[in-house]
Structure 1
């Protein structure tokens, strides 16, 4: 539990608004990586993001990386949370933390249905998909060097490292064979994108990691949860977003394509066209990115499955991993992309 009195003293010393007022707080979410609380002091409202005491030591560095990204987004047209203040000194609350602006709106995460009017108005729902694609299209246009993120990642040789890096990762955790892994890996080794323009990556871009404004039309309020943020290839975010997107979003099975109901959403081709228009990037090589996204996501989820134990949520990753790897190998086999 956060010592909110110590937090109040630090906020006062930092010169933040609301000096001397008591802190009202409300737990928003949390897990093994971060805890998030709403903070209210008088008329001021913000959110604290801090690793819990039991989080791995590298989360201290991670929380400061997150801060660098949201601070860099200030003044851009990327929907984002306001960067309020950061504390790298772990002696204040036990871990480094930062404060960000409170976002009015809603998250698709944890919902069984879309909120009104998107639950029944499929034309309005289409805007949610367009806005999702637009978020990373705008992100891809940010001048990361000018924003001080020149040392955030390792953009040089990004694609040269992917297969070797994730193959080594899988070998460390391997507990079973993953059919299709070798075939997709060989296909990726033999190919590269048509062009590679480094930019800021979210790293886990999907409906679960954005917020929308209340009401229609659909308006993206903020990209959130920057734990995997880096400088790399932004088009991998696009592929991450659409790798399981159904070809026909009007079909009944689109309601079961993921953790949200995709009926009424734009088709994959329309999303690709919208991304290309807003970002100014070509998407003719999207098959390469989708194979990489499925292959990589399968490896990432396999780690959770291998340590699942009695955790039913992690156990459920088992068949998902196999489907993703199969999908990566099948696309690699049938794609006409040669680079």
Structure 2
């Protein structure tokens, strides 16, 4: 039997004040008794996610990382409010139970949500999870369908129209991520200037604007343990906004490492897209276009943008490690990862006829 995704022991330096968590939880949620058991989910390199259990009652707490963080990053209150508004029209969003902006509790904003019990596919299939090649393809298509469904959400009906900044989303993303990369660059990482210049020169107009997730991956999707083809939850809404859906797809494909990719790219894999039956990146694009009705003559721009954006995210995290603002050893190799992504972007640019 496939294991339901569970939290593990808390990483050193990321412990929560149990007494303060307990007091907040009991004031916010009626009927809690006893002492809480707190563990941490191992995935993620940005916000921290904890499982809090009171006997059979189980919750999830999300907070920003410890240490210095950029002022506009890790906005827990925004994420919680987006989820709360989206839940009635996109039922795969976890229910928000409590929001805290009192820094006397944990020294930061945080929120508590329902725990969605299920299977989460991380780097490899979990123990006991066996699918044929055909069934793996079916699962893959069902997951992509949820991205299509999200892009069809009526933004105004959800009360999320305020997230949009009007036309020019593509341009804002190229400018914004370029600025963020430059600010986070360290001496041991390439400057990405040819990549940023190409993206700035080749960027298309917005194809349309809709609600986008901005971090849609297998390890942010919850599957029904009794029917693993069924998606029951979509997690991690920190970067959700109104934007171009093809940019959203490009972001997802940056993590879509397939079986025939070169070894340096395989090292970055964090979801089981290498399994027999999984769609290739080209097949993902083809299927998404068919289901969504959107069209782009060439997807090169969006693929290279997704890789560059991933490099900028990695570099922002590596900057904190490089300057001693975090000691998490998982981040020690992030500079090398950014350098590899620059090489990959430059190779794809060389192969592009845009």
Mapped partners of 1:32, 1:60: distance in 2? 10
1:226-280 deviations in whole A, cap 9, x for unaligned? 2222222232221122235356x58997976723441221222332233224433
- Cα distance 1:59–1:185, how it changes in 2: closer, same or farther (>3 A)? closer
SS of alignment partner, residue 161 of structure 2: coil
Q: What TM-score do you get using the length of structure 2 for normalisation?
A: 0.77
The 5 Å alignment of 1:125-144 reads: 125-144=136-155
* Pairing of 1:184-333 with structure 2 (within 5 A): 184-193=195-204, 195-243=206-254, 245=256, 249=259, 258-261=269-272, 262-264=274-276, 265-309=278-322, 312-333=329-350
Task: Choose which of 109, 114, 117 in structure 1 pairs with 2:126.
Answer: 114
**Cα deviation code 1:53-109 (max 9, x no counterpart):** 757595897111111221122122452212334344445665443332221202223
Aligned residue in 1 for 2:193: 182
**TM-score normalised by L of structure 1:** 0.80
SS at match of 1:231: strand
Q: Is the 8 A contact 2:51 2:58 kept in 1?
A: no
Which digits, 9 at most, give the CA deviation of each residue in 1:154-203, with x for residues without a partner? 35322222333333323323334766823322222222336432222322
* SS of alignment partner, residue 157 of structure 2: coil
Which one of the candidate residues 14, 24, 27 is aligned to 1:10?
Answer: 27
Aligned counterpart in structure 2 of residue 105 of structure 1, from 105, 118, 121: 118
Equivalent in the alignment of 2:41: 29
Q: Distance in 2 between matches of 1:252 and 1:189?
A: 27
Distance, in Å, in 2 between the alignment partners of 1:36 and 1:55 is 20
Rounded to whole Å, the distance in 2 between the matches of 1:320 and 1:200 is: 30
CA-based RMSD? 3.5
Q: Distance in 2 between matches of 1:307 and 1:48?
A: 23
Secondary structure of the 1:219 match is strand
Aligned residues: 328
| Kept after mapping to 1: 8 A contact 2:121/2:219 | yes
Bigger drift between 235-244 and 302-311 goes to 302-311
Rounded Cα–Cα distance in structure 2 between residues aligned with 1:7 and 1:303: 32
Larger mean Cα displacement after TM superposition, 63-72 or 178-187: 178-187
Over 3 Å counting, the alpha-carbon distance change for 1:90 and 1:267 in structure 2 is same
- For 1:156, the equivalent position in structure 2 comes to 167
Counterpart for residue 52 of structure 2: 38
- 1:276-315 CA deviation, whole Å, 9 max, x = no partner? 2443322444221111111222222223334434754223
Residue equivalent to 1:70: 83
State the alpha-carbon separation in 2 of the partners of residues 240 and 69 from structure 1: 20
Shift of 1:335: 2.1
Question: Residue 112 of structure 1 contacts residue 260 of structure 1 at CA under 8 Å; is this kept in 2?
Answer: yes
Which residue number corresponds to residue 9 of structure 2?
Answer: none
Kept in 2, the 8 Å contact 1:34–1:51? The answer is yes
1:25–1:40 contact (8 Å) kept in structure 2: yes
- Hey, what does 2:182 align to over in structure 1? 171
